[in-house]
Structure 1
Amino acid sequence: MALNPVLKKRLPLIIGGVVAVALVVGGVVWWQGKQRWESTENAFVQADTTAVSPQIDGYVVEVLVADNQRVEAGQVMVRLDDADAKANLAQAEANLAAVQAGVQNVDARAVQEQAVIASRAAAVTQAQAQADLAREQVDRYGKLAEQGWVSQQRIQTERAGARTAQASVAEAQAALVAEQRAAGVLGSTRSQSVASVEQALAAVEQARVALERTVIRAPVSGVVGARGVRVGQYVRPGGQILSIVPLGDSYVVANFKETQVDRLRIGQTVEIKADAFPGEHLIGRIDSFAPATGSEFALIPVENDTGNFTKITQRIPVRIRLDRTAGAALRPGLSVEVKVDLKSEGGLTFAQAATGQVQTASTGR
């Protein structure tokens, strides 16, 4: 059927009007969306993965976890051969028993030495009493000799006895001093023995820790990944044998352009879409802003002080905290698309957060 000539003449105007209306409506929708949402596809799921390494060397005798198995903190994952560790512990304990016996021996000698010192002190007292008696005898016989009742020979005998008694006092005192010095030597010997006991205790504790380290436990809860340990393998300290990924604690790092972060605030709601979960919209919130752009943390930093400098828009990593459902679903390494709801409630802006961090650091000093 042929079109009406009038309608045919106005058809381009009608089509143009419809296109214009569509453009206006599309522009309004785009503008409203631009005012409410800030989005980026440069975002990835991350988690604080823990690399597990042995603290001692040895042969693996048992592996108790499998790939992708969930483990709880403290769960035994790997056992190393503990024969050498047990032998070292037994040797350390035997050495501890020996030095403790040495301390007991010194204590017994100290008790005996105190008894000897008491005996020597009694000997000094006895010798002093004999010397006093001999001196009194000399005085008494001296007076009798002046009256002619005692011969000169008897006086000489009494004086010799007094000198002998005084010499006995000196001898007893010297023996007492010698025993007291011996007791002092025993005191220093005991201090040395006690120090040896402390050293032996430390060796026992070290051997016990080495024995405990033959059992490798999970430091955190999560899922086992990158398991490279096998039975019979010889492992060394610091060598990674497996990793533990805490899936429930995953988070998203979204790299926004520096021209986008001025309207972002900590705490704003974030919608997350992942290709691994089509049709599902996961929810998170802005947790923090990175202290520098991603290029600053690169292994090879960008050199901007060159003659052929070209300005390139940099990106700021923004950490997004996931809710419990999203954190359990997303796996580290997945790429996601994030949209920040700019009309949702938020706290500090990017600039305010940086200023607050500086103030906190200066206050801490």
Structure 2
Amino acid sequence: MTPENEGPRDANDDTPPPQPYKYRYKYLHKYGDASPRGERDDDTDDEKNDGKGEDENARKDGEQGKEEKKEDGKKDDDKKEDPKAKRKKVIVLSVIAAVFILAGLTWLLLYIFVFSQRETTDDAYVKGDMVTISSRVAGTVVEVAVEETDRVHAGQVLIRLDPVDARVSLMNAEGQLAQAVREAQARMQQANQADAAIPQRRAQYEQARDEYNRRHPLLERRAVSAEEVDTGRRQMQQALAALQAAEREAAAAHAQVDGTTVEDYPAVIQARAQFRNAWVNNGRNAIVSPIEGYAARRQVQVGQRIQPGQDLLTVVPLQDLWVDANFKETQLEHIRIGQPVKISTDMYSDVEYHGKVVGLNAGTGSAFSLLPAENATGNWIKVVQRLPVRIALDAEDLRRHPLRVGLSTDVNVDTHDRDGKVLAETPRTKPLAVTNVYEREMGEADQRAEEIIKANTVDATPKPLPARRGA
């Protein structure tokens, strides 16, 4: 096929036939122009003009063809789309929409029946009593019986002090008690002796009175001298005064001992108290544990000189622990006493503890801090406060999985039952903690004092005089 711009060719022309412009430019770009220079120069202007036109026409034709092909392809795709694919697409979209709707409904139901019925916090820590062991007397430490982490029992000796000074004081108090007992018996015998002197003085008075009464009538008969009568009168008066003095002495002696026994005599009671104090101080050289627990924070060494009240050791009863959960004030609306609680700790990741709310603190942490916040100042920023809520742990859970004081926990309070009280209405009827360790010391002291009193009590009943021979 001859191109439109190609004319008739000479039969003797050996030059290659000219190519169409759209092919010629491709050929020239690839292989270069092999025609003579003159021909290229002559044909340059025509080729440029004709080439530009042909290129623009070809470009427009190509763009139109592409657009037509796209439209034809879309039409063909629409025609070829299967109704089953449409149905499948609708089903997939419907399933996705149903899943989202179901997830939203599930979340709504969880919030209504679960999330809105509980309060959680991770600002919660295990707390417990920390009993500080201190000395009640001054002394030098000669023995430390326990180390940190050791188990201790109630009444177990933890620390011993040098007992020399206390033993000397105890011996002195024992001697004073014995002396007081004997003095009390002597006072009682003195009262009896004063009672015995009264009849003697009375007899002397009666004798002097009778003699005076006999001599006084004889004075008128001049049977006796006036001097004798005066002497008799004076003797009678002296005997009367001696009788009255004896009665007063007896009354004074009885005022000291009447209504008492040797055990109840005031001096004996005082000496007994001093002996008891010395006995207890001697026993306090052995510092004992008041409760069951574990030793911690040992601060005492052998040879150390300690003073009364100085901190030496701490005993922690790990069987009686609780959790203080610090809830935000926005979480306290539905928390009530008695609500069940679930607790988890980092120490036991797979263990869930059970407990219950036993009370809400009387103030926030900032209110009881060492330096409370001054909210009346000009530079004020609102900060959400936290209130400690005490949670009692189940004793069986605590026995199976012991905790330590200060461990962090995650607390989940079930607030479904909201009929409980926010504050306790009745006072505690039983003591929170009791120990009878120190009562043993008092009992032992009383027992030893009774032994001393009995050992120094003698039988003061007068023994009858033996009968004289021939009487």
TM-score range, shorter chain: 0.7 to 0.9
Q: How does 1:263-342 map to 2 (within 5 A)?
A: 263-328=334-399, 329-342=402-415
Partner AA of 1:314 in structure 2: Q
1:348 has 2:420 as partner: yes
In the alignment, the residues of structure 2 paired with residue 69 and residue 127 of structure 1 have an alpha-carbon distance, to the nearest angstrom, of 88
Cα offset, 1:162, TM superposition:
2.5
In the alignment, the residues of structure 1 paired with residue 288 and residue 206 of structure 2 have an alpha-carbon distance, to the nearest angstrom, of 70
Q: Assess, with a 3 A threshold, how the Cα gap between structure 1 residues 9 and 189 changes in structure 2: closer, same or farther.
A: closer
Cα offset, 1:138, TM superposition:
3.5
- Match of 2:311, SS state, is coil
Match of 2:246 in 1: 179
Identity of counterpart residues, as a percentage?
Answer: 34
- Match of 2:240, SS state, is helix
Q: How does 1:113-262 map to 2 (within 5 A)?
A: 113-138=194-219, 142=221, 155=222, 157-184=224-251, 186=253, 194-262=265-333
1:46 aligns with one of 127, 131, 134: 127
Choose 20-29 or 52-61, whichever is displaced more.
20-29
Q: Assess, with a 3 A threshold, how the Cα gap between structure 1 residues 346 and 59 changes in structure 2: closer, same or farther.
A: farther
Cα offset, 1:340, TM superposition:
0.8
In the alignment, the residues of structure 1 paired with residue 136 and residue 338 of structure 2 have an alpha-carbon distance, to the nearest angstrom, of 41
Cα offset, 1:176, TM superposition:
2.2
Which structure would you say has the larger RCO, counting Cα contacts within 8 Å and 6 or more residues apart?
A: 1
Q: Give the structure-2-normalised TM-score.
A: 0.65
In the alignment, the residues of structure 1 paired with residue 293 and residue 109 of structure 2 have an alpha-carbon distance, to the nearest angstrom, of 44
In the alignment, the residues of structure 2 paired with residue 287 and residue 332 of structure 1 have an alpha-carbon distance, to the nearest angstrom, of 19
Deviations 1:217-252 (A, max 9, x none): 111111111122233222211111111111111000
Higher helix share: 1
In the alignment, the residues of structure 1 paired with residue 90 and residue 305 of structure 2 have an alpha-carbon distance, to the nearest angstrom, of 86
RMSD: 3.1
- Match of 1:97, SS state, is helix
In the alignment, the residues of structure 2 paired with residue 308 and residue 27 of structure 1 have an alpha-carbon distance, to the nearest angstrom, of 42
Q: Assess, with a 3 A threshold, how the Cα gap between structure 1 residues 342 and 96 changes in structure 2: closer, same or farther.
A: same
Cα offset, 1:210, TM superposition:
0.7
In the alignment, the residues of structure 2 paired with residue 100 and residue 253 of structure 1 have an alpha-carbon distance, to the nearest angstrom, of 58
In the alignment, the residues of structure 2 paired with residue 26 and residue 330 of structure 1 have an alpha-carbon distance, to the nearest angstrom, of 37
- Match of 1:31, SS state, is helix
In the alignment, the residues of structure 2 paired with residue 136 and residue 251 of structure 1 have an alpha-carbon distance, to the nearest angstrom, of 104
Structure 2: unaligned runs, 5 residues or longer: 1-80, 429-471
Match of 1:148 in 2: none
Q: Give the structure-1-normalised TM-score.
A: 0.82
Q: Assess, with a 3 A threshold, how the Cα gap between structure 1 residues 95 and 330 changes in structure 2: closer, same or farther.
A: same
Q: 2:191, 2:253 within 8 Å by CA — same for their partners in 1?
A: yes
Deviations 1:302-349 (A, max 9, x none): 111122222211111100010013333221100000001122x46524
In the alignment, the residues of structure 1 paired with residue 98 and residue 408 of structure 2 have an alpha-carbon distance, to the nearest angstrom, of 39
Structure 1: unaligned runs, 5 residues or longer: 143-154
Q: 1:134, 1:158 within 8 Å by CA — same for their partners in 2?
A: no
Match of 1:150 in 2: none
In the alignment, the residues of structure 1 paired with residue 105 and residue 288 of structure 2 have an alpha-carbon distance, to the nearest angstrom, of 61
Cα offset, 1:95, TM superposition:
2.0
Cα offset, 1:206, TM superposition:
1.3
In the alignment, the residues of structure 2 paired with residue 223 and residue 327 of structure 1 have an alpha-carbon distance, to the nearest angstrom, of 15
Partner AA of 2:387 in structure 1: I
Cα offset, 1:170, TM superposition:
0.9
Cα offset, 1:13, TM superposition:
6.3
Deviations 1:73-122 (A, max 9, x none): 22222221111111101011112222333333333333333323321111
Q: 2:184, 2:267 within 8 Å by CA — same for their partners in 1?
A: no
Cα offset, 1:57, TM superposition:
1.2
In the alignment, the residues of structure 1 paired with residue 92 and residue 312 of structure 2 have an alpha-carbon distance, to the nearest angstrom, of 72
In the alignment, the residues of structure 2 paired with residue 256 and residue 165 of structure 1 have an alpha-carbon distance, to the nearest angstrom, of 104
- Match of 1:237, SS state, is coil
Cα offset, 1:23, TM superposition:
5.6
Q: 2:215, 2:224 within 8 Å by CA — same for their partners in 1?
A: no
Q: 1:85, 1:211 within 8 Å by CA — same for their partners in 2?
A: yes
1:24 has 2:104 as partner: yes
Cα offset, 1:258, TM superposition:
0.9
Q: 2:218, 2:224 within 8 Å by CA — same for their partners in 1?
A: no
In the alignment, the residues of structure 2 paired with residue 186 and residue 70 of structure 1 have an alpha-carbon distance, to the nearest angstrom, of 60
Cα offset, 1:17, TM superposition:
3.9
Deviations 1:37-87 (A, max 9, x none): 210000000001111111111112222223212222222222211111111
Match of 1:34 in 2: 115
Q: Assess, with a 3 A threshold, how the Cα gap between structure 1 residues 22 and 236 changes in structure 2: closer, same or farther.
A: farther
Query: How many residues were matched structurally?
Result: 337
Greater C-alpha Rg: 2
In the alignment, the residues of structure 2 paired with residue 107 and residue 174 of structure 1 have an alpha-carbon distance, to the nearest angstrom, of 24
- Match of 1:166, SS state, is helix
2:160 aligns with one of 74, 79, 94: 79
- Match of 1:44, SS state, is strand
In the alignment, the residues of structure 2 paired with residue 219 and residue 316 of structure 1 have an alpha-carbon distance, to the nearest angstrom, of 32
Partner AA of 1:341 in structure 2: D
- Match of 1:247, SS state, is coil
In the alignment, the residues of structure 1 paired with residue 300 and residue 109 of structure 2 have an alpha-carbon distance, to the nearest angstrom, of 56
Q: 2:187, 2:257 within 8 Å by CA — same for their partners in 1?
A: yes
